[in-house]
Amino acid sequence: MADGEEPEKKRRRIAALTENMAVESCNIGDWDGRWSHVRKFLERTGPFTHPDFEPSEETLQFLLETCKILVIGAGGLGCELLKNLALSGFRHIHVVDMDIIDVSNLNRQFLFRSKDVGRPKADVAAEFINQRVPGCNVVPHFKKIQDFDASFYRQFHIIVCGLDSIIARRWINGMLLSLLSYEDEVLDPSSIIPLIDGGTEGFKGNARVILPGMTACVDCTLELYPPQITFPMCTIASMPRLPEHCIEYVRVLQWPKDKPFGDAVGLDGDNPEHVQWVFQESLKRAAEFNITGVTYRLTQGVVKRIIPAVASTNAVIAAACATEVFKIATSAYIPLNNYLVFNDVDGLYTYTFEAERKENCTACSQVPQKLQFPPSAKLQEVLEYLTENASLQMKSPAITATLEGKNKTLYLQTIASIEERTRPNLCKTLKELGLADGQELAVADVTTPQTVLFKLNFTSETCSIKQVESPRAVFGVPLISLRKRGQMRQGLPLVLTHIVEFVDKHGLSETGLFRVGGSVKRCKELRKSFDEGGFPEFDSRDVLTSASLLKVFIRELPGGLIPEPHRTQLLKVFRDSKKEELNQAVRTVLNSLPEEHFNVLCYLMFFLSRVAAESHLNLMTSENLSIVFGPNIFHVPFSPTMVEEQGQCNTLIEHLLDNLIHLLPNMYPHASNSNTAERDWTNEECVQQLPLKEIRLKVPKIGRLGRLRKRLGCFWRKLCSCTYSSDI
Amino acid sequence: MTDHKTSKEQKYDRQLRLWGDHGQEALENAHVCLINANATGTEILKNLVLPGIGAFTVVDGHKVSGEDVGNNFFLTSSSIGKNRAQAATELLQELNSDVSGNFVEESPDKLLDNDPEFFHRFSLVIGIQLPESTCLRLGSVLWEAGVPYLVCRTYGLIGYMRLIVKEHTVVESHPDNALEDLRLDQPFTELKHHIESYDLDSMEKKDHSHTPWIIVVAKYLEKWYSEHNSQLPKNYKEKEAFRQLIREGILTKENGAPEDEENFEEAIKNVNTALNPTKVPSAAEDIFNAEQCENITSQSPSFWVMAQGVRDFIRNEGNGKLPVRGTIPDMIADSDKFIKLQNVYRDKAMKDAAVVSKHVEALLQSVGKPPESISEQEIKLFCKNAAFLRVVRCRSLAEEYSMDTFNKDEITSCMDSTDSEMVLYLMLRSVDRFYQQHSRYPGVYNYQVEEDINKLKLCVNSLLQEYSLNVNVKDDYIHEFCRYGAAEPHTVAAFLGGSAAQEAIKIITHQFVPFNNTFLYNAMSQTSATFQL
């Protein structure tokens, strides 16, 4: 480091020597200064340490001698993780990976060379690390994670994942949850094995810390993974337009028909001859339809569902994961709470937020799972529910029930002979299968090491078939569906006017209206009642809950009340327009909203302006309302500028509220100023400055960003990375 | 040769899908200089060597210490005492035989004294953990020479990067969600003819329901025009009326119920974006109005030559519009109708690009350069991306450090929040000040940590005073930075290693958009921020 003057230098050298000796003496094979970078954090106290932290030389000894880490995956992330851990003082490391090395790994999996192609990743990675980092003992396992049982996983202090499969993530998540022990329903903290999980795709990645049983688990956030892109069969079969359609045709339809490499030979994306055949046939098909753009590379990409990958993103995410392992193992810092997203397509962007636990998570909640179906529902419907429900997303569920004291398999997909035998059950009704109300169904699936128990609740025949997608549901349903189903009057959802009229009547003077949350339980009950077709009575002493319900209704509108592309357009005109042109530009965009959305927006905005007009009582100025409603009205997608964008969206709402009469026609029946309702709102000249009667109370800005970030967590739509699995 | 090519294609397959063969070619033609092969430095190089950078040169005058081997994967205990540039080069080179590794066993200061032009040859210079004086000296040499410069530093749990590039142009910025370029408001002649070739009223049901929505919208737009003075539907009311017009066009069954025509549904859904007035985006407009676009010389980079070509196209043949992009989204349609429509746009894009090409050619000739100095291929790519062009201009280090030009507003406003990543920047500047005064970093040895806290605090105060910054730096950060003792934990170095390498690749390939200009990473909280300083 510094080359200072003599006496200082000498003094330092002596000090350094004595410091080093303290540790080196008990670690044969180490050299002077080997751990001095690490020791600064372990032997010194600091203002940002974990409350449990005590500086001591013993912590390094713990890392070197005791702490046992499992790394799952020895690929792009795994190689980096092993290096990072080995150089941070971890020596007892196991690594599990079922893959062998492919030449396309070499651009980032830096522990492998051309000569290693074809060998197990785990073996080569372990050899390399053990050779390069003296004293480190990486134990390789060329196996699947499912080949090990609880006793194997229980031996580790911390587990880090660098996987490319959601199923594998869910499985290990389920395994660690199964290791938890509860005493009198209280979680025994010593049974928790922290799980650090990383994922990457191209220039995007994420890292998260999961404390099983305590913080959001993989299944809690399942809905955040975007669905896999699939092409409709009719497009593939009869009207291809893109080169991808042609390749899919050859892969899905032509291969099984032509059997180009023999009867029993399935398409192997790693076999160049297979890919070459698909490529050639796709070219032919494309030529037939005059489609251009089929290349060998694209063919390979479609056949193998290739996820682009670079060294740099893997390095970033693995580094963040390893830092978290170090924090947890040493308490030298407070661990990440609990989710980090990274993207460097446009600049460098990270976003850190707290993913929330799902109250009724199938994997970690301990809440008994319910299946609500009428007795006349067919088993097929149950199966579809298990695979399609966003929070279950099972892959090939096997359903068993105990009938007359015997375990009976109702349906099992993974074994051909049993599938064939149980297939007729799919067309039978639950009643015909002999299932009773309250019956327990055990469901096994590749996504979890444990069977999940569901309690079957029979609903009456006239009632909803499925709990979530009831035809009467009014929450989370597109406005257009509400209109089609006749759940609207005068262009407004009945549920909306029902709530708004109540809040308008009883809530305008309520302090912190919309900002202060109501009763979560009561809110859920009300919602359920609405979803079942009812119009529940509200309690005038509990306006806040109804107010919360209104937010839920707006928030859950699919795509957002101001959906894409209007949202982006609005932001753009808001950013780019000259002041004098702004309102005209905003109006143009708002005008282009789908009718239903436009109506609801007008209605809601004018109602909110009434709330703001009473801000001397309720303290909800348009600024405050915009902070509360911005994230409900706009679903800001993941992007490098997400936080900033949400801020802009909120400002936009504030602008809308402040300039309402210039921007939207008044569709609110009890408008405070009846004159404005009759004006031609599209005519700028008619609407001169008519400020709403509003007393603006300045609220302090502190904590605004914090709240915003937290709120954004709930709106996480399109999480990057780790979404497509190449090995499902 | 072909074998070598295919094996390279296989090896680099996963990244070729991101930056293409031309991006890879740029990478393979690049020569990067790394100053200081400590953990941060070798991690960056690792992530450049793996994807196949052409060549690297490590400049490092240090001898390998035991500390160095402790946190650096590309040094071994047997290299202790040897020159660090040499030792690291050997192990980095071994990662990828396609890459040429070189080293210079000298300190950057010596090179700057004796042969500052040494640095002119590189595509990019990456300086790691440099003392402030060296960093600024090198900065001014590279600024003058127009060589991009990336400064990186790992200090405890803090990562810092600063990019200094006078002007960086990006044709392929790869935007995540871009609006389509369909020209329905102002259809070009060929598109008009193509639309005319359809007659929705006389179609069989199958054809009717497999007509691309672009055609459907265009057809009903004609109808609309005839009833509305040839004005586009503008406001909500009109657009809704227009949607209704389309809705009424859906075929009906015998019982009067509408047929299931997904293409019409798509048309209704797309009315908004489809009727977006065609115009040049303001960011692109700025580029066409830039001085560099106006004054083309024989020295002008091809980006600006092409920019002027496109600008001339806009002002003349384009009638105020960009060249047609030539792509359409996938939509419900049968193959034949879709491909024909796609070809209408594609052909027009080719024509427009050919016109731009003529402008570029004339321009090249006027400054005495051969017309083939910019290929057709480049011009096509430029035209296709004309709406997404980006130019990044970073301020120099001299501007950042000068009392007259430092970005006081940015610093002060960020420091309204005392935990802003900006405080880390101020701390790093204070640590440098400490180094200047004491020839060592604070807290390097245990016995000095306590006394250094006060010394560092003096440095913080003098920095703030000197720049008249009226901000509050919490004592916690001063204490924490002394705790670091300039340690370089491997995982933080590895984080920077990944992010810096990616920025280097952006600079080299001119694809994707580099950060501008200061990046701070806080590994304690796993947060980061970018500032313009």
DSSP A586-612: HHHHHHTS-HHHHHHHHHHHHHHHHHH
Does B321 contact A at CB distance below 8 Å?
Answer: no
The answer on pLDDT for A13 being more than 60 is no
The answer to whether residues B20 and B137 belong to one domain is yes
3-state secondary structure of A455: strand
Question: CB distance B67–A36 less than 8 Å?
Answer: yes
The answer on pLDDT for A239 being more than 60 is yes
Q: Hey, which CATH number is domain A51-226+309-353, 3.40.50.2000, 3.40.190.10, 3.40.1190.20, 3.40.50.720?
A: 3.40.50.720
pLDDT (tens digit, 0 to 9) for every residue of chain B, 533 residues total? 456 667 889 999 999 999 999 999 999 999 999 999 999 999 999 999 999 999 999 999 999 999 999 999 999 999 999 999 999 999 999 999 999 999 999 999 999 999 999 999 999 999 999 999 999 999 999 999 999 999 999 999 999 999 999 999 999 999 977 889 999 999 999 999 999 999 999 999 999 999 999 999 999 999 999 999 999 998 888 998 999 999 999 999 888 888 889 999 999 999 988 888 899 999 899 999 999 999 999 999 999 999 999 999 999 999 999 999 999 999 999 999 999 999 999 999 999 999 999 999 999 999 999 999 999 999 999 999 999 999 999 999 999 999 999 999 999 999 999 999 999 999 999 999 999 999 999 999 888 899 999 999 999 999 999 999 999 999 999 999 999 999 999 999 999 999 999 999 999 999 999 999 999 999 999 999 999 99
- Which residues numbered 35-64 in B keep a CB inside 8 Å of some CB on A? 39, 43, 46-47, 50-52
- Please tell me the predicted confidence (pLDDT) of residue A263: 85
Residue B513 lies in a domain: yes
A256-281 pLDDT, tens digit each? 999 999 888 999 998 989 999 999 99
Q: How far B524 CA sits from the closest chain A CA (Å)?
A: 6
pTM over 0.80: no
Residue B12 lies in a domain: yes
Task: Please choose, from the candidates B427, B420, B418, B312, the residue with its C-alpha nearest in 3D space to the C-alpha of residue B360.
Answer: B312
The answer to whether residues B18 and B165 belong to one domain is yes
Nearest to B66 among A33, A320, A576 (CB): A33
The answer to whether residues B47 and B119 belong to one domain is yes
Using CA coordinates, name the residue in chain B closest to A129. Answer: B73
Residue B184 lies in a domain: no
Task: Please choose, from the candidates A55, A54, A27, A28, the residue with its C-alpha nearest in 3D space to the C-alpha of residue A39.
Answer: A55
Look at strands B168-170 and B158-164 and give their pairing: unpaired
Where in chain A do CATH 3.10.290.20 domains reside?
369-458
Task: Please choose, from the candidates A121, A74, A295, A106, the residue with its C-alpha nearest in 3D space to the C-alpha of residue B7.
Answer: A106
Nearest to B480 among A47, A289, A319 (CB): A47
Q: Hey, which CATH number is domain A479-667, 1.10.555.10, 1.10.287.1080, 1.25.40.340, 1.10.10.10?
A: 1.10.555.10
Provide the CATH topology of domain A233-304: Arc Repressor Mutant, subunit A (1.10.10)
Task: Please choose, from the candidates A169, A195, A196, the residue with its C-alpha nearest in 3D space to the C-alpha of residue A322.
Answer: A196
The answer to whether residues B12 and B133 belong to one domain is yes
Nearest to A311 among B47, B275, B333 (CB): B47
Q: What is the largest CA-CA distance in chain A?
A: 93
DSSP B269-335: HHHHHHTPPP---HHHHHHHHSHHHHS--TTS-HHHHHHHHHHHHHHTTTTT-PPP-------S--H
What span, in angstroms and rounded, lies between the C-alpha atoms of B363 and B373? 11
Provide the CATH topology of domain A369-458: 3.10.290
Q: Between B67 and A231, where is the model more confident? A: B67
Residue A15 CA, distance from chain mean position: 50
Query: What is the pLDDT confidence band of residue A715, given thresholds at 50, 70 and 90?
Result: very low
The answer to whether residues B123 and B207 belong to one domain is no
Residue B390 CA, distance from chain mean position: 8
- Please tell me the predicted confidence (pLDDT) of residue A687: 30
The answer to whether residues B410 and B460 belong to one domain is yes
Report yes or no: B526 and A352 within 8 Å, Cβ to Cβ.
yes
What span, in angstroms and rounded, lies between the C-alpha atoms of A440 and A445? 16
- Please tell me the predicted confidence (pLDDT) of residue A186: 86
Question: CB distance B492–A323 less than 8 Å?
Answer: yes
HSE on the CB side for B358, CA within 13 Å? 9
The answer on pLDDT for A403 being more than 90 is no
The total of other beta-carbon atoms located within 10 Å of residue B189's CB is: 8
The answer on pLDDT for A108 being more than 80 is yes
What span, in angstroms and rounded, lies between the C-alpha atoms of A547 and A284? 60
- Which of B349, B368, B392 terminates a domain? The answer is B392
The answer to whether residues B81 and B203 belong to one domain is no
Work out the burial of residue B67: count CB atoms within 10 Å of its CB; fewer than 13 is exposed, 13-18 middle, 19 or more buried. buried
Secondary structure letter of residue A259 according to DSSP? -
Task: Please choose, from the candidates A270, A274, A226, A281, the residue with its C-alpha nearest in 3D space to the C-alpha of residue A248.
Answer: A281
Using CA coordinates, name the residue in chain B closest to A46. Answer: B480
Domain count along chain B: 4
Distances (CA, A) of B249 to A596, B232, B261: 21, 19, 10
What span, in angstroms and rounded, lies between the C-alpha atoms of B353 and B351? 5
Nearest to A348 among B275, B335, B530 (CB): B530
- B234 to chain A: which residues are within 8 Å by CB? 588, 591
B424-443 pLDDT, tens digit each? 999 999 999 999 999 999 99
Q: How far B206 CA sits from the closest chain A CA (Å)?
A: 12
What span, in angstroms and rounded, lies between the C-alpha atoms of A173 and A169? 6
Sign of CA dihedral A47, A53, A54, A58: negative
Q: What is the largest CA-CA distance in chain B?
A: 93
Which one-letter amino acid corresponds to residue A711? Answer: R
Using CA coordinates, name the residue in chain B closest to A302. Answer: B17
Residue whose pair of structure tokens reads 């053990």 in the numeric block: A130
The answer on pLDDT for A22 being more than 50 is no
Report yes or no: A292 and A286 within 8 Å, Cβ to Cβ.
yes
Residue B181 lies in a domain: no
A658-698 pLDDT, tens digit each? 888 788 877 676 543 333 333 333 333 333 332 222 222 22
Q: How far A244 CA sits from the closest chain B CA (Å)?
A: 11
A476-513 pLDDT, tens digit each? 888 888 887 778 877 788 889 889 988 988 888 888 89
3-state secondary structure of A408: strand
CATH code, domain with B26: 3.40.50.720
Nearest to B491 among A202, A307, A319 (CB): A319
- Which of B275, B297, B324 terminates a domain? The answer is B275
Active site members of A:
234
The answer to whether residues B147 and B204 belong to one domain is no
- Which of B275, B302, B330 terminates a domain? The answer is B275
- Please tell me the predicted confidence (pLDDT) of residue B2: 52
- In the beta sheet, which residues pair with residue A201? A204
Q: How far A50 CA sits from the closest chain B CA (Å)?
A: 11
User: Average of pLDDT values for A25-29?
Assistant: 49
- Please tell me the predicted confidence (pLDDT) of residue A325: 97
The answer to whether residues B384 and B408 belong to one domain is no
The answer to whether residues B403 and B384 belong to one domain is no
Does B5 contact A at CB distance below 8 Å?
Answer: no
Where in chain A do CATH 1.10.10.520 domains reside?
233-304
Residue B48 CA, distance from chain mean position: 17
The answer on pLDDT for A357 being more than 50 is yes
The answer to whether residues B18 and B158 belong to one domain is yes
Task: Please choose, from the candidates A505, A480, A503, A508, the residue with its C-alpha nearest in 3D space to the C-alpha of residue A493.
Answer: A480
- Please tell me the predicted confidence (pLDDT) of residue A212: 94
- In the beta sheet, which residues pair with residue A125? none
Secondary structure letter of residue A664 according to DSSP? S
How far is the first Cα of chain A from the last one, in angstroms, to the nearest whole number? 50
- Please tell me the predicted confidence (pLDDT) of residue A596: 84
Question: CB distance B521–A576 less than 8 Å?
Answer: no
Where in chain A do CATH 1.10.555.10 domains reside?
479-667
The domain of B374 spans: 282-392
Enumerate residues 6+ apart whose C-beta is below 8 A from A320: A198, A207, A336, A340, A342, B491, B495, B523, B526
Report yes or no: B249 and B199 within 8 Å, Cβ to Cβ.
no
- B282 to chain A: which residues are within 8 Å by CB? 576
The answer to whether residues B470 and B495 belong to one domain is no
- Please tell me the predicted confidence (pLDDT) of residue A1: 40
Length of chain A: 728
